[in-house]
Amino acid sequence: MPAAVLFHSGHYVGVRYEQPSRGSSLVAGILLLVVGAPSGYCQTAAAQPQKALVIPLDVRDEQVLLQGADVAVTIEKVWEVVGALGLFRRADGMLWLFSAGGLYRFDGYDVGLFLEPLTKPEARIANWFICAAEDEHNTLWLGSQYGFRRFDDVTGSFEAFLHDTASPTTISHNFILTLCADRKGHVWVGTPHGLNRFDIASRQFTRFYHDSTRQNSLVCDTITHVVTGGDGVVWVGTRQGLSRYDPSTGVFANYTEISPLPFRLPARGVRRLCICKDGVLYIATDAGCRCSISAVV
C-alpha cells in the first residue's frame, strides 16, 4: 500500500491511500495533528469525495490543501493533539505520537492514549514525552521531561528509570532530550547533563561527560541528538559540536567549526543528525547543513 506524509504550517498530515480499481475514485484516510488543540480531541471531518487537484480542509482557521493528480478523496478523521512533538512508526506498522499530553497510538482505526497515572505528583512532566526509540526486540523506549521510560505493550503502563545521586549506574539526568537504540542491546540517551548508555539486560547506565583535561572525551554535556551507524559507531550532536564514539576503543573524536577540513562544521551547535543508506551522515547545525562526513569511517 503506498503511503505519504505531508507537512503544512507546522502540522503533521499523515495520508494513507490505496490504488483505486477501474472506474472508482481514490479513497484516502487523513490524519491531521494540530498543535495547540485540546488533548485527545478527535472528530469526523465533513468532506465529500470530489474530483479535484486540491482539496481544502478548514481546521481552526487554518486551511490545509491536499494535492493529488485526478483523484477523489474522502477525509475520514481529523485528530487534534495538544503539544504534538513527533511521530514514530514502529516495526509492526503502528503509528505513535509523543506529545506534551501523553503517548498516542493510531492503529489505522482508533486512537489510544497512554499516560502515567495522574495521581502521581510528577505526572504532568512525566507525561510530557519528547523522544522515542524502538530496540531490536521491538520494545518501545521513551524520553520525557521527567525520566527515561519503557513502555509495556501488554499492560499499557510505563517502567521509569530515574536519576539517583547515590548511584552512579542510574541515568545522569531526568530530562531526556534524545534516544537511539543500537544493535548491541543498548539504548543511548542524551540529556542536558551528559550522554548515557543504557544496558537493556542489566538495567544499568554508563555515563559519559565532557572532561576538559581529556582531549578524547565528549565535546559537550548538553546532548541535542544521537544516532548510531551500522558499524556500531555512535554519533552525538551537542550544543558545542559533534562527537564520534567508537565502542571498540572507548574514545571520542570531536568536530567543531574550527576543526580541519573536511570535518569542519558550519557552526558549533548541532541540532539534528541523520545517517542515510549510503552511509553519509547529514548534520544540521545552527548555520546550515553539513553532509560530507561518512558514518562508516
Q: What is the residue-wise DSSP string for 147-196?
A: EEEEE-TTT--EEEE---TT-TTS-S-S---EEEE-SSSEEEEEETTEEE
On whether the CB atoms of residues 149 and 132 are closer than 8 A, the answer is: no
Give me the residue spans of the domains in the chain: 3-80, 84-294
Among residues of the chain, what percentage have pLDDT more than 70?
70
pLDDT of residue 289: 78
Read off the amino acid at residue 11. Answer: H
116-139: average pLDDT = 93
Query: When comparing pLDDT for 15 and 130, which is higher?
Result: 130
pLDDT higher than 50, residue 37 = no
pLDDT exceeding 90 applies to what percent of the chain? Answer: 51
Q: At 264, is the pLDDT very low, low, confident or very high (cuts 50, 70, 90)? A: confident
For the stretch 61-93, pLDDT in tens is: 444 455 554 444 445 555 666 677 788 889 988
The pLDDT-based confidence of 42 (bands split at 50, 70, 90) is: very low
**Bigger pLDDT: 44 vs 286:** 286
* 108, burial (CB in 10 Å: exposed 0-12, middle 13-18, buried 19+): exposed
Task: Looking at the structure, give the CATH architecture of the domain made up of residues 84-294.
Answer: 7 Propeller (2.130)
294 falls in which pLDDT band (50, 70, 90)? low
Residue written as grid cell 543504557? 198
Q: CA quadruple 35, 39, 40, 42: dihedral positive or negative? A: negative
* pLDDT surpasses 50 at 30: no
pLDDT for the residue numbered 80: 63
Q: Per-residue confidence at 8, pLDDT binned at 50, 70, 90?
A: very low
The more confident residue out of 194 and 295 is 194
Q: Where are the alpha helices (DSSP H) in the chain?
A: 123-126
Rounded to an integer, the average pLDDT of 5-26 is 40
User: Which grid coordinates are listed for 70?
Assistant: 485526478
Res 224: pLDDT: 97
pLDDT of residue 280: 85
283 within 8 A of 242, measured Cβ to Cβ: yes
Reported confidence tier of residue 143, pLDDT bands at 50, 70, 90: very high
| Residue 159: other Cβ atoms inside 10 A | 13
pTM of the complete model beyond 0.75: yes
Mean pLDDT over the full length of the chain: 78
Residue 19: predicted pLDDT: 40
pLDDT tens for 186-245 read 999 999 999 999 999 999 999 999 999 998 999 999 999 999 988 889 999 999 999 999
Given this model, what pLDDT does residue 290 score? 64
